[in-house]
Amino acid sequence: MIKNIFAVFAIFCSAIGIAQKNSSSPYSFFGIGDPLTLKSVEETSMGRIGGAMDSPYRLSLTNPASYASLLYTTYVFAGANNWTIFDDGTDDQTSSNASFTYIALGIPMKGNQGLAFGLQLNTAVGYSVLSYAENEEGIINERTDFEGSGGTNRAFLGYGYKFPFNLMLGAEAAYIFGGIDNSVTNRRLGVQLGTKYKVDSYVDGFEFKVGAQYNVALPDELTLKMGASATLSHELTEDGKEILYSIENTNLAVDIPVDTLYNNPFKSAISYPLKSVLSAGIGKENNWYAGLEYEFMDALDVEGAYYQEQDVYQYQSNNRISLGGYYIPNFNAIGNYWQRITYRAGFHYRTLGLNINGTDINDYGISFGVGLPVGLQLSNVNFGFELGQRGEKTNNLIQENYFNFRLSLSLSDKWFRKRQLY
């Protein structure tokens, strides 16, 4: 059975390595792309909770304070496949994309300390929207193509320290980087040349996160877990160029440039305010856990960019509330594999911090998943599933009904063990 799991995982990773497209959403046009879930597959499967959770052999990517609880060196990597149905109230269309989402390594250190570093997808841009115009006879006489691709990545290094009185503190530094391409192509019937407006840019900058966790022992082997983390306000810079040029007005998929009308460099700043995460939960270690999490951030501020805030859309504060947990029938059931499986489920509701045509764009969904132990080790294969809806069909908007599948492999072992001679 374990060999089959690894075979499926290898095939899945090969597929996402070939087709690294991270988004198909029209909402990824705004800002520097669609903000991705910076959480592990385990956390996402529990409604995206994780700020209060810690483990000696699992990585929690929400709160750097959790790194202090590591007792085993833990290596994780994950991928995702997303299916989305786009519905504007008249027509619907289905799209799917696969991506490699994160890779990370957590290392326990002497003296109740832990270190973790890795690479995550941070934001994703990926959309292709067509707009048509008709004349009085009902004949299409104009076509406009809106396309975008790219996104940003997040390379992070985090550290956590655990005090004797069950208090853990942590800090994390991350470098954000990536390229984004956007374009608008316009063609008109009976006109010799079309036009194309293209924007190529590179985004980079640093962000810092701090976190704290505190565990309280309760009767009946229960534990109350509390956590808080804050991503400090920071600014990303975007350097790029805007190009407007004419193209031959043909039906070919390839644009043939004719004349460049202008080619101008630009520089903009994307300012992120403080983002806070509060989380709490109760459970019995390696048996069950139920938690609640709340996330809040003020409006994004963009200055000097070509997509700067307009009357049609505005950036605003966004928040998320999540409920979720896990259940393990019998963690120590050596003779019964199925008793050691982890079952996870949860719910989330989130506002994206975006208002278009006077309508707030919201996202809600349910999630569930399983963690399959690898042999008798603490390593495991995690499957996660998420069903949800984003946006609306009103006010010329698009509703997205999505199904996300996530898969991760977590390998835990004792490294740097001191050998003893007898």
- Residues with Cβ < 8 Å from 359, sequence gap 6 or more? 392, 394, 395, 397
- As given in the structure block, the two tokens for residue 224 are 């109350």
Q: What pLDDT digit, counting tens, does each position of 22-74 carry?
A: 677 888 888 889 999 999 999 999 999 999 999 999 999 999 999 999 999 99
Distance CA 412, CA 418 (A): 17
**Beta-ladder partners of 162:** 168
Q: What pLDDT digit, counting tens, does each position of 138-177 carry?
A: 777 888 888 999 999 999 999 999 999 999 999 999 999 9
Q: What pLDDT digit, counting tens, does each position of 236-265 carry?
A: 999 999 999 988 887 666 677 788 888 989
Architecture of domain 2-413: Beta Barrel (2.40)
Task: Report whether pLDDT(11) > 50.
Answer: no
Distance CA 109, CA 396 (A): 54
Task: Report whether pLDDT(19) > 70.
Answer: no
- Cβ–Cβ < 8 Å for 34, 23: yes
φ, ψ dihedrals at 305, nearest 5°: -100, 155
Mean pLDDT to the nearest integer, 7-26 = 50
Report the pLDDT value the prediction gives residue 14, as an integer from 0 to 100.
38
Judge residue 307's burial from the number of C-beta atoms within 10 Å of its C-beta, 0-12 exposed, 13-18 middle, 19 or more buried: middle
Report the pLDDT value the prediction gives residue 23, as an integer from 0 to 100.
72
Strands (DSSP E) along 249-287, which ranges? 257-272, 275-284
Q: What pLDDT digit, counting tens, does each position of 210-229 carry?
A: 999 999 999 999 999 999 99
- Beta strand 380-390 pairing with 318-327: unpaired
Q: What is the pTM of this model?
A: 0.88
Mean pLDDT of the chain: 88
Does residue 220 come out as left (phi exceeding 0), alpha (psi in the -120 to 50 range) or beta? left
**pLDDT level of residue 12 (50, 70, 90 thresholds):** very low
Report the pLDDT value the prediction gives residue 417, as an integer from 0 to 100.
52
Does residue 89 come out as left (phi exceeding 0), alpha (psi in the -120 to 50 range) or beta? left
Report the pLDDT value the prediction gives residue 254, as an integer from 0 to 100.
67
Hey, what amino acid is at 150?
G
Q: What pLDDT digit, counting tens, does each position of 342-373 carry?
A: 999 999 999 999 998 889 999 999 999 999 99
Burial 196-210 (b: 16+ CB within 10 A, else e): bbbbebebebebebb
